[in-house]
Amino acid sequence: MSKYWSPSVRELTPYVPGEQPRERMIKLNTNENPYPPAPGVEQVLREFPADHLRRYPDPESWGLRCALAANYNVEANQVFVGNGSDEVLAFAFQAFFRQERPLSIPAITYSFYPVYCRLYGIDYRTLALGDEWQVPLEALDADSGGIIFANPNAPIGHSHSRDAIEKLLERVTECVVVIDEAYVDFGGETATPLVNRYPNLLITNTFSKSRSLAGLRLGFAIGSPELIEGLERVKNSFNSYPIDCIAHDAGIAALEDEQYFETCRSRIIATRDDTRRQLQQLGFDVLPSQANFLLVRHPHHEADQLFLALRDRGILVRHFNTEALQDFMRISIGTDDEMAHLVETLSELTR
Ligand SMILES: *Cc1c(COP(=O)(O)O)cnc(C)c1O
């Protein structure tokens, strides 16, 4: 605590990201992709003319927005890009959720959302998950100041169908509904086709997980032109150039290679489903997941102890120290070799 801090900064509870270890470990703690980005990305990095860095990037990131628009079958004025989807989300909270009425969020979801609420002084209410650990769509209040959840949800992995999302949107028309689709490419169903019919729907997504580019920092949102303009108003009051020239070109290259994308994501899906079965054989309770992670607990072993024992053996997973999640570990899906090593180690630890 410093006397130099603004009063509001003294009240903040910042988000704590998963650890990035300095030593070499099997890293299954931040849902990164175990495979390298598309080969075209490496070519961009190798061939990028350093002289271009003299100039500021295009403040509108037009080329990348057009590539995303083509990919998702929308217009470029329905696409917003940011420095990671965390930045896009921060702008969305600022642009849409500073309302009289409280924001509605599920009790368990991406833990950054309450952090943004505190940053912007947004009141929020939380809704308990359903019996199958699902986001309780029917309990989300049409009178809210806004609604946000991840689909597939983090760190659970449960995913709602587009039809279920559409039922929500038929009912909730007076506030913005943000659906964070960071994990949708691992088996969820995107709600993007609904943006043309529901002007209050904003979908956010990221290049960090399914495109293997967490280190590049690229996220995006898709919605109606009026929502995108709202995001641009915030962005242009904060930083004109969130996307650097290299990230811009590398992002386009990542989108171009559809075959590589399909190969990587189907490999991860297959590895996830194998790992799920193997962990169940060890006695773990494994929640169904449409994401690139599994949330698991063992009836006879404490999650925090298993987390530490794995860490000692060079395997990093995630343990959340909250009442709702303390019995669980979240395990990101790595390569088949990494997962075989994990399963073998857990088999020794739970024997
Ligand atoms: C990883 C993640 C993000 C953040 O992604 P970045 O684009 O790397 O900032 C956003 N939402 C959820 C649910 C995530 O898991």
19 has pLDDT over 90? no
How far apart, in whole angstroms, are the C-alpha atoms of residue 66 and residue 71? 9
Q: What is the model's pLDDT at position 1? A: 87
Examine the domain organization and report whether 67 and 166 are in the same domain: yes
Cα–ligand 1 centroid distance for 276 (angstroms): 23
Instruction: Indicate if 221 and 309 belong to the same structural domain.
Output: no
Which residue, 233, 256, 279, sits at the end of a domain? 256
Report residue 201: phi and psi, to 5°. -95, 125
Cα-to-centroid distance, 254 and ligand 1 (Å): 17
CA of 100 to the centre of ligand 1 (A): 27
Q: Are strands 285-286 and 329-332 parallel, antiparallel or unpaired?
A: unpaired
Q: What angle do CA 12, 153, 36 make, to 5 degrees?
A: 95
Alpha carbons 350 and 115: distance in angstroms, whole number: 36
Label residue 21 by pLDDT band (50, 70, 90).
Answer: confident
Indicate if 117 and 177 belong to the same structural domain: yes
Query: Residue 155's pLDDT is what?
Result: 97
| Top mutation candidate among 20, 32, 180, 211 for ligand 1, by most atoms within 8 Å of CB | 180
Nearest to 140, CA basis, from 96, 185, 170, 183: 170
Say if residue 207 is in the same domain as residue 265.
no
Mean pLDDT of the chain: 97
Q: pLDDT by residue (tens digit) across 206-221?
A: 999 999 999 999 999 9
Q: Do residues 172 and 308 both lie within one domain?
A: no
Is 28 in the same domain as 125? Answer: no
For residue 12, report the distance from its CA to the centre of ligand 1, in Å. 20
For residue 16, pLDDT over 90 is answered with no
Tell whether ligand 1 has an atom less than 6 A from the beta carbon of residue 85.
yes
Instruction: Give residue 170 CA to ligand 1 midpoint distance, Å.
Output: 27
| Ligand 1 and 150: CB distance under 6 A | yes
186: three-class secondary structure by DSSP = helix
Is 287 in the same domain as 166? no
Residues 204/36/291/14 CA torsion (nearest 10 deg):
-60
Using CA positions, which residue lies closest to atom 11 of ligand 1? 182
Query: Considering 205, 229, 256, which residue would you say is the last residue of a domain?
Result: 256
- Give the model confidence (pLDDT) of 142-162 as tens digits: 999 999 999 999 999 999 999
The answer, yes or no, to whether any atom of ligand 1 lies below 6 A from the CB of 110, is yes
Q: Is 112 within the bounds of a domain?
A: yes
| Whether pLDDT at 23 is above 90 | no
For residue 206, the CA-to-ligand 1 centroid distance in Å is 6
Ligand 1 in contact with 182 (CB < 6 A)? yes
Total domains present in the chain: 2
Looking at the structure, do residues 81 and 167 belong to the same domain, yes or no?
yes
Which is the closest atom of ligand 1 to the Cα of 85?
Answer: 7
- The verdict on 150 and 276 lying in the same domain is no
Q: Give the H/E segment covering residue 344.
A: helix 336-349
Q: Are residues 189 and 292 in the same domain?
A: no
Residues sharing a CB contact under 8 Å with residue 323, sequence separation 6 or more, in sequence order: none
- Tell me what the mean pLDDT of segment 276-288 comes to: 98
**pLDDT tens digits, one per residue of 36-95:** 999 999 999 999 999 999 999 999 999 999 999 999 999 999 999 999 999 999 999 999
Is residue 179 in contact with ligand 1, taking CB distance under 6 Å? no
Which structural domain range is residue 307 located in? 20-36+259-349
Let me know whether 246 and 310 are in one domain. Answer: no
Domain membership of residue 196 (yes or no) is: yes
Residue 265 placed within a domain:
yes
Q: Is 154's C-beta closer than 6 angstroms to any atom of ligand 1?
A: yes
Report the nearest-CA residue for atom 12 of ligand 1.
182
> What's the pLDDT at 58?
97
Residues 155 and 90 in one domain: yes
CA-wise closest residue to 39 among 265, 253, 268, 245: 253
Whether 2 is in a domain gets the answer no
CATH number at residue 340: 3.90.1150.10
pLDDT band at 18 (very low <50, low <70, confident <90, very high): confident
Q: Which residue(s) pair with 329 in the sheet?
A: 296
In a domain, 229, yes or no: yes
DSSP single-letter state for residue 318: B
Domain contains 4: no
Give residue 218 CA to ligand 1 midpoint distance, Å: 10
Q: State in Å: Cα 302 to ligand 1 middle.
A: 27
Is residue 84 in contact with ligand 1, taking CB distance under 6 Å?
yes
Among 212, 239, 256, which residue terminates a domain? 256
CB of 109 within 6 A of ligand 1: the answer is no
**Residue 26 to residues 14, 154, 301, Cα–Cα distance (Å):** 26, 21, 21
> Is 3 within the bounds of a domain?
no
- Ligand 1 contact, 181 CB (< 6 A): no
Give domain status of residue 148, yes or no: yes
Q: Name the band, by pLDDT with cuts 50, 70 and 90, for residue 17.
A: confident
CA-based nearest residue to 126, from 142, 143, 114, 138: 114
**Of the candidates 225, 253, 255, which has an alpha carbon nearest to the alpha carbon of residue 80?**
225
CATH of the domain at 202: 3.40.640.10
